[in-house]
Amino acid sequence: MLIHLSSWPEIDARLKTTKTVVVPIGSNEQHGPTGLLGTDWMCPEIIAHAAEKQDGSLVVAPTFNIGMAQHHLAFAGTISLRPSTFMAAITDWVSSLSRHGFERIYFLNGHGGNVATIEATFAEIYAEWSFVEEQPPFVLKLKNWWDLPGVHSLCNQLFPKGHGMHATPSEIAVTQAAYPDHIKTADYSPQIAPTGPIRDALDYRARFPDGRIGSDPALASPEHGRTIIAAAVPALLKDVADFANEVLPEV
């Protein structure tokens, strides 16, 4: 059940039997010479929508498509929220979804650079309750799609060399599977990009001139993408089910 393609009475009815919602969340940012700018929000969207197709009872929110990408801002097309803005926006999403009765809110994340801010946001949200000795009416969970059980090891197996950290062949493969008409090619030099620390945008561009970190996107193929999606979908469904069924302690 994709929220944006449903009517409110449909969601209302669905809430009678499930209290769990999945929010695909990512970033719109450069992904090297050939990766799509939307890669990091499209990957979790692709996986979540595929999961919903397989199990229509899964409730999937619209995709939170702009995240924390300040370090990529020296590359055209990147759009970033400041962490403080990102925190405010996630907070409002949670307030809205909780208002309707969603008690388990699962963020399927597609961007490593989002993790710190999302976790800080969870703490910011919980703090309001922790300061006043109340328990929030919801539980929040963050999961990167590549951390879904089995996915990371699959990616390593598919790309034993040149996977890297940004513009990885695995994420690019996923988008190639879903958007085969938008596959781009380039000569990579060096074939495997350098690695290093991530700081501000100008520092980033100086270290990683074409935007990649440690990766060789030439390894990606739509077929690889389909393999990854095929592994991620059941893993997501199981992970969400476990989260939905988790018994909370008595407080």
Query: Which amino acid, residue 68?
Result: M
Considering the complex, state which of residue 81 and residue 148 has its C-beta at the smaller distance from a second copy: 81
Return the exposure string of 4-18: e unless at least 16 CB atoms fall within 10 Å of the residue's CB, then b. Answer: eeeeeeebeebeeeb
Question: What length does the chain have?
Answer: 251
Q: How far is the CB of 135 from a second copy (least distance, A)?
A: 5
The candidate with the shortest Cα–Cα distance to 35, out of 231, 168, 194, 135, is 168
Considering the complex, state which of residue 23 and residue 228 has its C-beta at the smaller distance from a second copy: 23
Site stretch for a second copy (CB under 8 A), options 47-55, 103-111, 194-202, 233-241: 194-202
13-72 positions binding a second copy, by CB under 8 A: 15, 28, 30-38, 41-42, 61-66, 68, 70-71
CA 129 to chain centre: 26
The candidate with the shortest Cα–Cα distance to 83, out of 101, 96, 70, is 70
Number of residues near a second copy (by CB under 8 A): 96
Site stretch for a second copy (CB under 8 A), options 47-55, 103-111, 132-140, 156-164: 132-140
Cα 119 from Cα 53, distance rounded (Å): 29
3-state secondary structure string across 131-192: CCCCCCCCEEEEEEHHHCCCHHHHHHHHCCCCCCCECCHHHHHHHHHHCHHHCCCCCCCCCC
Considering the complex, state which of residue 42 and residue 231 has its C-beta at the smaller distance from a second copy: 42
**Which listed residue (121, 144, 168, 170) binds a second copy by CB under 8 A?**
121
147 makes contact with a second copy (CB under 8 A): no
187 makes contact with a second copy (CB under 8 A): no
Q: How far is the CB of 26 from a second copy (least distance, A)?
A: 10
223 makes contact with a second copy (CB under 8 A): no
97 makes contact with a second copy (CB under 8 A): yes
178 makes contact with a second copy (CB under 8 A): no
